[in-house]
Amino acid sequence: MSESRPVITVLRPSDPDSPAYEPPGLDQISDRAEIRLTDAEHIVDDIAGADALFLWDFFSGALQEAWSAADRLTWIHVAAAGVDKLLFDELNDSDVTVTNAQGIFDRPIAEWVLGAVLAHAKDFGGNYRLKTTKTWDHRETKRAQGARAMVIGTGAIGREIARLLSAVGIEVTGAGRTERDEDQDFGVVVPSATLEEHFGDYDIIVNAAPLTPATTHLIGPTTLAAVKTGAHLINIGRGASVNEDALITALREGPLGYASLDVFEQEPLPQDSELWELDNVMIAAHMSGDVHGWRDSLAELFIDNAQRWLDGRDLLNVVDKDKGYVPGKRSAS
């Protein structure tokens, strides 16, 4: 850190009309640090001499292109839980500390998953479609209580999902890197490398895993062929964890019955994607964690961490760059 006031560069979106153009609350640290506001076009100039970087534009890949100019960087905070869009070899090999926004999205995403489970079980989509034609069609729906769910990813988000699903009587099992027989939230955790051996036992499959080389296309032709007939797949992790071609085939031809998707391999989802045409798919625009006030919460977490950094205290949510997530008792798997 420099002898004078440290420099914190803030990468914000290029569009000044964006609702997230500038993080609130930066005035709380402006007397202790020089704040440089920049965008992808100007980051090469504004990262030079900076001690810290706040990736407010958290999906931007501009840092990698500007990395050679980052001559004094010691800390990066990204305003997102997933860091797969950020990490690259040069950063991973450096001594720069990376922190993220773990904890901000846990409950909102878990609520979204629970809502998707109940909406499918109670056929809310069918109600909306029938309403457009003023059709009165009495039918029976599924009971959520007693269903079995597998949650892939035993980190903070996966655990919150497990707690909410359990609260309505759904039996939950986890899938992660390490097999466990006694887990406080999942009971049993099976190895994610053996999903095809277990998928057939579950009515609901939730992907909440971070994107790593091990989880890229983790759900593909083999695993999808092994699911229980009529099973419901929910993806709130990363789009690239699911092979979309195999997913479309499994939805068209079986055995998969329904999919609730919030993330995709390409975002926005291309207009020519076959997923738009399928009646047994619910599509959301990567918004499962974005509740009212979420940007304020992201900014508050950064300010808290910045004050810790300025004080020389331990930072919150330090990412293991090799693993791609925040490790610990409830680390993602």
If one counts every other C-beta atom within 10 angstroms of the C-beta of residue 282, the result is: 17
Do residues 72 and 228 touch, judged by C-beta distance below 8 A?
A: no
Which of helix, strand or coil describes residue 297? helix
Cβ neighbours of residue 127 closer than 8 Å, sequence gap 6 or more: none
Cβ neighbours of residue 231 closer than 8 Å, sequence gap 6 or more: 199, 202, 203, 204, 205, 255, 256, 257, 258
Out of 286, 295, 300, 308, the active site residue is 286
Cα-Cα-Cα-Cα dihedral of 19, 21, 25, 29, to 10°?
170
221: its two tokens: 């032709």
> Whole-angstrom Cα distance, residue 192 to residue 227?
14
Please confirm, yes or no, whether 300 is among the known catalytic residues.
no
Out of 65, 90, 197, 267, the active site residue is 267
> Whole-angstrom Cα distance, residue 105 to residue 313?
24
> Whole-angstrom Cα distance, residue 162 to residue 264?
23
> Whole-angstrom Cα distance, residue 25 to residue 142?
47
Q: What residue type is assigned to position 315 of the chain?
A: L
Please confirm, yes or no, whether 274 is among the known catalytic residues.
no
Out of 177, 238, 244, 265, the active site residue is 238
Helices 156-167 and 106-121: crossing angle in degrees, nearest 10, is 40
Across the chain, the runs of DSSP E, i.e. the strands, are 7-11, 34-38, 52-55, 75-78, 97-99, 148-152, 171-176, 180-183, 187-191, 204-207, 232-235, 258-261, 281-283
Do residues 62 and 17 touch, judged by C-beta distance below 8 A?
A: no
| Residues assigned a catalytic role | 238, 267, 286
